């Protein structure tokens, strides 16, 4: 499902349009080059007053040395009409500070059949004061992410000046006309990019009597001014936002505002005064036709033949829709929001999240199991105080199950008597929800029982790995290890899916790469992979060389073969962003070393233990006659540490690194 929003995906910096790939850059450069090759003369042109002001401002700004551009001004003035259509006037000016910045001076705006970019004007003001106008030859449209299997009617309009250099100021002014009422009433604006921003301004004008909801990131730190028919949000002097290791995702850090306008007096279904209105609108849109067609009914009954337990019926249908309907998105016209008829999806054997959910619902209905469409977002958090369907980018299914079994049986996918399932995610069986969705808000669109709710949080034990190895060390430093890794919870399902979808030779190559960080010439044989009820495991024999190094005549054994300096450490004195170690997870490692006869281990290193609010580590070595045990446990709890706790986080990563590089002194028999 693609609820394509406006400004978040489109900006002059391209920062938040993550799907802009190298190929898009190549095409942009191609357009730029083609324009240059035309050998067009660059005449001197007049610049409007606001651009002149920006050029003057550019003389005085001082910003972080790592910044590649400074956004001098970024403004969007949008007028929403009573028909929901909108016209936005956008102005942006940046000063390029370095070669990489020239790419950020390229204009990129989403276009679609309902979203048109008009009256584009642009000015390139050289450091020596020369001004060049934007030429039509320097403007093009493209779809850089096009691929078979994902069909939509969006493109990016790209406009760029050739030969932009450090010191130049690039400014654009244009209009965005949106004629889809749903998209027109919803407006989004990124006030701050990674790059420093001197001034950002977002003005929304709505028809008299209308109201609006507001959401955003750091919006409470943004000045809001009431205007005659709307609001203006203003920011001044926002600093450069460096890319740092272990930082939260960009949408959590940058500053943006999103508004959803509505007419409280309107009886139209797509006016969203509360979540109830959103649920009703979505419910009607996502509802497959009331009379489920004979073909779907027949297929469902055939699948459930002989199954009397509703849970078994649900499972059979879920597996069918997950496995037999491949993911192909046709997001054209109404297909952006509406699912296709279930029998069409079934005939095609493909569909997107909406189609798969609608088919699964129709099949459940055929065996008298009720269900509802549930809106979710796989990329960014939902604001439960902002009732707007455009917050979501995905559809899953909700099934009321209190008549059949207790929620406690499937605790990670059940809440308040409803079971949630994502038939688009190939990895999981009924009863599991992906880590991307766990802990996020979703909207259940039941006609009678709609609500915004939070799916069960992910806990470290839902994503657990246990490494075990029994290793015989030879006097020449080579090893023969019997290794077994067990995966639990979601990680088990993900791992099993990975095994199913990749050749074992590819898996072996990856393991060789992994162990090559810890030893010479790793060789893997006797691979066995098993899927159990709540876990999956793989065992194999691992051989390798050079596990013992020497320092000052003393032999050092590398104790942990699973982690050879894998953990990135935090470095540097400054920290701007909170620290995030990612989703909750748990990894335990147990290694039993058997030394060659007459070899002894020296005094073991001190145990390593450390913890902070979002993670903990404990690692220790035990030594007995001819044997060494290495035990470690690293647990990440999710969440963030504020930048003020940076020193704690940095010390923690240092401890993890120390644990990963633990060495044990060995004494050979003749010493």
Strands 329-331 and 150-152: parallel
DSSP class of 253:
H
Query: Which span (148-156, 174-182, 302-310, 311-319) binds another protein, by CB under 8 A?
Result: 148-156
Sites for another protein among residues 576-615 (CB under 8 A):
605-606, 608
Q: Does 526 bind another protein (CB under 8 A)?
A: no
Taking the CA atoms of 359, 361, 363 and 365 in sequence, report the sign of the dihedral they define: negative
CA triple 85-88-93, angle to 5 deg: 165
Sites for another protein among residues 401-460 (CB under 8 A):
426
Least separation in angstroms between CB 555 and another protein? 11
Sites for another protein among residues 555-574 (CB under 8 A):
556, 558, 565, 568-573
Query: Which span (83-91, 180-188, 488-496, 643-651) binds another protein, by CB under 8 A?
Result: 643-651
CA distance 37 to 33: 6
Q: For 316, phi and psi rounded to 5 degrees?
A: -65, -45
Give whichever of 283 and 577 is closer to another protein, judged by the CB atom. 577
Binding characters for another protein, 494-523, by CB under 8 A (x = yes): ------xxxxxx---x--xx--xx--xxxx
Three-class DSSP category at 316: helix
Least separation in angstroms between CB 481 and another protein? 17
CA distance 123 to 425: 46
User: CB atoms < 10 A from the CB of 36, how many?
Assistant: 14
**Closest-CA residue to 453 (of 382, 545, 363):** 382
Bridge partner residues of 542 (DSSP): 481, 524
Least separation in angstroms between CB 139 and another protein? 8
Please give the size of the binding site for another protein, defined by CB under 8 A.
Answer: 91
Sites for another protein among residues 324-383 (CB under 8 A):
324, 326, 328, 330, 332, 346-350
Q: Does 650 bind another protein (CB under 8 A)?
A: yes
**8 A C-beta contact, residue 196 and residue 67:** yes
Strands 479-488 and 535-545: antiparallel
Q: Does 666 bind another protein (CB under 8 A)?
A: no
CA distance 538 to 529: 4
Least separation in angstroms between CB 369 and another protein? 23
CA distance 202 to 200: 7
Residue from 14, 84, 122, 140 in contact with another protein (CB under 8 A): 140
Sites for another protein among residues 50-69 (CB under 8 A):
65-66, 68
User: CB atoms < 10 A from the CB of 645, how many?
Assistant: 17
Give whichever of 219 and 567 is closer to another protein, judged by the CB atom. 567
Residue from 143, 252, 472, 613 in contact with another protein (CB under 8 A): 143
Give whichever of 108 and 215 is closer to another protein, judged by the CB atom. 108
Residue from 403, 551, 624, 644 in contact with another protein (CB under 8 A): 551
Q: Hey, what are 97's tokens?
A: 């500070």
Residue from 48, 146, 274, 454 in contact with another protein (CB under 8 A): 146
Residue from 26, 100, 211, 225 in contact with another protein (CB under 8 A): 100
Q: Hey, what are 45's tokens?
A: 């042109």
């Amino acid at each position: 499902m693609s609820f394509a929003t406006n400004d978040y995906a489109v900006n002059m910096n391209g920062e938040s349009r993550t799907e802009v790939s190298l190929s898009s850059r190549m095409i942009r450069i191609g357009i730029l080059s083609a324009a240059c090759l035309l050998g067009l003369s660059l005449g001197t042109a007049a610049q409007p007053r606001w651009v002149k002001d920006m050029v003057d401002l550019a003389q005085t700004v001082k910003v972080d040395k790592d910044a590649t551009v400074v956004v001098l001004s970024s403004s969007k003035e949008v007028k929403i009409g009573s028909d929901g259509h909108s016209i936005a006037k956008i102005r942006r000016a940046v000063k390029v500070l370095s070669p990489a910045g020239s790419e950020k001076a390229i204009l990129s705006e989403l276009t679609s059949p309902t979203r048109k970019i008009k009256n584009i004007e642009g000015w390139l003001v050289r450091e020596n004061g020369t001004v060049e106008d934007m030429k039509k030859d320097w403007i093009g449209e493209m779809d850089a992410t096009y691929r078979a299997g994902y069909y939509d009617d969006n493109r990016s309009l790209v406009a760029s000046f050739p030969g932009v250099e450090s010191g130049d100021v690039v400014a654009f002014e244009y209009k965005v006309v949106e004629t889809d009422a749903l998209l027109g009433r919803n407006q989004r604006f990124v006030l701050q990019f990674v790059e420093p921003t001197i001034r950002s301004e977002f003005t929304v004008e709505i028809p008299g009597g209308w109201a609006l909801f507001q959401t955003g990131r750091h919006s409470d730190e943004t000045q809001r001014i009431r205007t005659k028919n709307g609001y203006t949000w203003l920011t001044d002097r926002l600093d450069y936002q460096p890319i740092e290791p272990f930082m939260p995702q960009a949408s959590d850090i940058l500053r943006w505002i999103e508004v959803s306008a509505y007419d409280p007096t309107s009886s139209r279904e797509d006016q969203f005064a509360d979540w109830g209105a959103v649920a009703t609108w979505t419910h009607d849109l996502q509802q497959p036709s009331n009379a489920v067609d004979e073909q779907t009914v027949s297929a469902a009954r055939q699948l459930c033949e002989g199954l009397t337990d509703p849970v078994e019926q649900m499972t059979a249908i879920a597996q069918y829709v997950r496995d037999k309907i491949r993911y192909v998105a046709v997001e054209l016209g109404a297909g952006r929001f509406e699912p296709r008829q279930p029998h069409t999806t079934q005939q095609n054997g493909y569909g997107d999240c909406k189609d798969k959910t609608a088919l699964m619902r129709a099949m459940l209905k055929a065996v008298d199991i009720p269900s509802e469409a549930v809106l979710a977002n796989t990329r960014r958090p939902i604001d439960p105080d902002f009732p707007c369907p455009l917050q979501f980018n995905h559809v899953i299914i909700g099934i009321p199950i209190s008549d059949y079994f207790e929620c406690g049986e499937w605790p990670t996918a059940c809440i308040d008597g409803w079971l949630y399932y994502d038939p688009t995610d190939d990895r999981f069986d009924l009863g599991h929800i992906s880590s991307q969705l766990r802990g996020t808000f979703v909207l259940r669109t039941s006609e009678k029982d709609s609500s915004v709710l939070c799916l069960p949080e992910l806990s470290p034990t839902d994503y657990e790995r246990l490494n075990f190895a029994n290793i015989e060390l030879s006097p020449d430093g080579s090893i023969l290890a019997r290794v077994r890794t067990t995966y639990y919870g979601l990680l088990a399902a993900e791992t099993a899916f990975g095994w199913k979808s990749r050749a074992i030779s590819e898996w072996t190559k990856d393991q060789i790469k992994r162990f090559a960080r810890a030893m010479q010439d790793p060789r893997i044989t006797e691979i066995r992979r098993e899927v159990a009820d709540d876990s999956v495991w793989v065992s194999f024999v691992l051989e390798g060389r050079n596990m013992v190094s020497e320092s000052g005549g003393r032999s050092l054994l590398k104790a942990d073969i699973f982690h050879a300096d894998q953990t990135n450490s935090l470095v540097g004195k400054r920290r701007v962003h909170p620290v995030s170690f990612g989703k909750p997870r748990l990894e335990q490692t147990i290694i039993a070393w058997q030394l060659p006869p007459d070899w002894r281990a020296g005094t073991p290193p001190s145990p390593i233990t450390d913890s902070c609010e979002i993670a903990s580590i404990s690692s220790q070595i035990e030594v007995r006659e001819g044997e060494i045990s290495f035990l470690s446990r690293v647990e990440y709890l999710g969440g963030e540490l504020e930048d003020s706790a940076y020193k704690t986080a940095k010390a923690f990563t240092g401890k993890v690194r120390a644990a990963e590089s633990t060495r044990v002194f060995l004494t050979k028999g003749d010493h």
